[in-house]
């Protein structure tokens, strides 16, 4: 069996007649024992009511690979309103794609109606399908199982488990790609990326999640089309960024995104800082933060986007801080201003909710306070609610040469014996050093003792909130 290409399945918006591969129950590993009871309830009730009912997407893909699915999705020929009539615990959501969510306590079974392929003409109800510059803005035109399969993004996500006879229906060569470890788009890659540029991030994410390779034809357009991500909703890109960086493969995601040119449209300010001469040590700094996050995810420990994004954006913050200091601004106010500016500019690409952006800024603006160890200042900082995160961040900075190891060791000793502060070595208060390169940009030189007590308040109006 050969995976279906754009010539096979999408020709001028029409469906080429392709006979699906039907994989009988005894030829695949999916068992109802491994499917959520609630998903089975939805499948059986739809079928009993006379509708087609299939488990689809990641559930079929993961069970075929012997993995435990994160969730279970259902596809059917029942329209959303008809699904709602069958389930009192159903809510209809979405304008871009109308979906039915069937609630069973904390578990939600998503039910989608088969989508149609774009017709060769515009003979659809006004407002049901909206395409703007090749991008699907809204699509609630319903079709057949075959059309729905070819409308999906990747072949490995276009497998359907039929509750009627427990077979798997494969319209796009997905089972062969699963066995071959390949992530392949259905249809012409450029057209599919133009329809929805976020598919470029999904290609990377699925390749990392499954340990697969991206098919050369699917990968080829990525560098030239990466800039299209800049036009995507910032809230949607935040969700995708979390899936990329906080799923246990964050470091590999960072490397693959940079390889395909996809990191720059997500975090352009950081990309600029990394490209600057003399910024070589920032790559190990970000890598250490991502490696730490991956290890915590693997150990089932809690992770927070606030710390991770603080690390990802820190090179841009330091670069802007250095520019302000060079223009004559004092270091602590320069850091505060740089933090505010970088955060505001980044929001247009990846929208961090305030519950993450506020602690992120606190981690940044607490950094100068580590240098002020005299009197009661050290004890006050030790009692700050963000102290632990800020100290961990200081350790990361020291690994990259952006803070002194002596400073880190002093605070480590102080945490062990806060009643007896360790002595300070003369001249060890500098938190950073200039790097080789153009004007040392990207690193601001800290002054011994800082700017008086300017850092005592944490450097952020939200400190302590």
In a domain? residue 301: yes
Residues 158 and 298 in one domain: no
Q: How far apart (Å, rounded) are the C-alpha atoms in residues 116 and 340?
A: 46
Q: Mean pLDDT, 10 residues at a time, over the chain (465 residues)?
A: 45 54 96 97 98 97 95 96 96 87 97 83 50 54 92 96 97 96 96 95 97 98 97 96 97 98 97 88 94 95 96 97 96 96 96 96 96 87 94 94 94 85 57 41 36 34 34
* DSSP state for residue 102 in the 8-state scheme: E
Last residue of a domain, one of 165, 187, 209: 187
CATH label of the domain that carries residue 410: 1.10.3090.10
Residues 100 and 92 sit within 8 Å (Cβ to Cβ): yes
Active-site residue among 62, 77, 139, 153?
Answer: 153
Query: What integer pLDDT is reported at residue 121 of this predicted model?
Result: 52
The residue from 8, 71, 196, 281 that is catalytic is: 71
pLDDT of residue 464: 36
Active site residue 177: no
**Residue partners of 1: CB distance under 8 A and separation at least 6:** 21, 173, 175, 176
Same domain membership, residue 277 and residue 176: no
Q: How far apart are CA 204 and CA 214, in angstroms?
A: 8
Residue 194 lies in a domain: no
CATH number at residue 107: 3.30.460.10
What are the Cα distances from residue 361, in Å, to 306, 337, 407? 9, 11, 21
Distances (CA, A) of 257 to 159, 195, 204, 241, 408: 27, 20, 7, 11, 32
Half-sphere exposure of 108 (CA within 13 A, CB side): 10
Query: Do both 182 and 61 map to the same domain?
Result: yes
Q: How many domains does the chain have?
A: 2
Q: Quick one: pLDDT at residue 14?
A: 40
Instruction: Tell me if 27 is assigned to some domain.
Output: yes
Give the integer Cα–Cα distance in Å for 73 and 394: 43
Residues 285 and 170 in one domain: no
Tell me what pLDDT residue 279 has: 79
> In the prediction, which pLDDT does 437 show?
38
Answer yes or no: do 279 and 169 share one domain: no
The answer to whether the beta carbons of residues 196 and 97 sit under 8 Å apart is no
Same domain flag for 31 and 156? yes
Measured over the CA atoms of residue 256, residue 261, residue 264 and residue 267, the dihedral's sign is negative
**Tokens coding 262:** 């996809």
420 to 58, 73, 229, 384: CA distances (angstroms): 56, 59, 53, 19
Please identify, among 187, 207, 223, the residue that sits at the C-terminal boundary of a domain.
187
| Catalytic residue flag (residue 71) | yes
Instruction: Report if residue 349 sits inside a domain.
Output: yes
Judgement on whether residues 183 and 275 belong to the same structural domain of the protein = no
Q: Quick check: is 294 catalytic?
A: no
Assess contact for 376 and 421: CB atoms under 8 A: no
Active-site residue, from 73, 177, 294, 402: 73
Same domain for 277 and 183? no
Residue 407 inside a domain? The answer is yes
**154 phi/psi in degrees, rounded to 5:** -115, 150
Tell whether 350 and 463 lie within a shared domain: yes
Calculate Rg over the CA atoms of the chain: 26
Please check whether residue 174 lies inside any domain of the structure: yes
297 lies in the same domain as 438: yes
The pTM assigned to this predicted structure is 0.83
Phi, psi of 427 (to 5 degrees): 80, 10
Pair 284, 314: CB distance under 8 Å: no
Enumerate residues 6+ apart whose C-beta is below 8 A from 417.
none
What is the pLDDT, as a whole number, of residue 347?
Answer: 96
At which residue do the structure tokens 């320069």 appear? 334
Does any domain span residue 195? Answer: no
Instruction: List the domain range (segments joined by +) for residue 144.
Output: 6-187
User: CB within 8 A of 431, min separation 6: which ones?
Assistant: 367, 368, 370, 371, 397, 402, 403, 404, 407, 446
Q: Which of 218, 210, 198 is nearest to 262 (CA)?
A: 198
pLDDT tens-digit profile of 157-215? 999 999 999 999 999 999 999 999 999 999 999 999 999 999 999 999 999 999 999 99
Residue 123, pLDDT score? 52
């Amino acid at each position: 069996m050969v995976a279906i290409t754009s010539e096979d399945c999408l020709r001028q918006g029409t469906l080429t007649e392709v006979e699906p591969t039907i994989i009988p129950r005894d030829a695949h590993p999916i068992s109802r024992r491994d499917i959520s009871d609630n998903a089975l309830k939805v499948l059986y009730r739809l079928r009993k009511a006379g509708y087609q009912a299939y488990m689809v997407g990641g559930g079929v893909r993961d069970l075929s690979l012997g993995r435990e699915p994160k969730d279970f999705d259902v596809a059917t020929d029942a329209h959303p309103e008809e699904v709602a009539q069958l389930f009192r615990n159903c809510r209809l959501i979405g304008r871009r794609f109308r979906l039915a969510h069937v609630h069973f306590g904390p578990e939600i079974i998503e039910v989608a109606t088969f989508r149609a392929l774009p017709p060769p003409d515009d003979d659809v109800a006004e407002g049901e399908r909206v395409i703007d510059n090749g991008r699907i803005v809204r699509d609630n035109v319903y079709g057949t199982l075959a059309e729905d399969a070819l409308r999906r993004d990747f072949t490995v996500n276009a497998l359907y488990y039929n509750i009627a006879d427990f077979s798997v229906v494969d319209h796009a060569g997905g089972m062969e790609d699963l066995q071959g470890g390949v992530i392949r788009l259905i249809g012409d890659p450029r057209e599919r990326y133009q329809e929805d540029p976020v598919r470029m991030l999904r290609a990377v994410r699925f390749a990392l999640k499954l340990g697969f390779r991206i098919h050369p034809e699917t990968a080829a357009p990525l560098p030239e089309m990466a800039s299209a991500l800049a036009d995507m909703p910032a809230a949607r890109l935040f969700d995708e960024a979390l899936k990329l960086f906080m799923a246990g493969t964050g470091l590999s995601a960072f490397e693959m995104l940079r390889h395909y040119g996809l990191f720059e449209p997500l975090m352009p300010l950081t990309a600029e800082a990394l490209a600057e001469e003399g910024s070589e040590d920032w790559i190990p700094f970000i890598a250490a933060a991502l490696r730490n996050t991956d290890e915590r995810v693997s150990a089932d420990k809690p992770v927070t986007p606030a710390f991770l994004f603080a690390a990802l954006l820190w090179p841009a913050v330091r670069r802007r801080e250095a520019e302000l200091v060079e223009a004559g601004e004092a270091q602590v106010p320069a850091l505060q201003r740089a933090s505010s500016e970088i955060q505001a500019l980044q929001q247009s690409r990846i929208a961090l909710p305030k519950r993450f952006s506020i602690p992120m800024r606190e981690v940044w603006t607490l950094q100068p306070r580590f240098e002020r160890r005299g009197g009661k200042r050290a004890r006050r900082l030790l009692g700050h609610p963000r102290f632990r995160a800020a100290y961990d961040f200081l350790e990361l900075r020291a690994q990259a040469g952006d803070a002194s190891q002596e400073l880190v060791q002093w605070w480590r000793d102080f945490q062990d014996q806060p009643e007896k502060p360790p002595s300070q070595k003369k001249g060890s208060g500098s938190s950073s050093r200039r790097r080789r390169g153009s004007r040392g940009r990207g690193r601001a030189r800290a002054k011994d003792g800082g700017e008086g007590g300017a850092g005592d308040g944490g450097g952020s109006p939200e400190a302590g909130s």
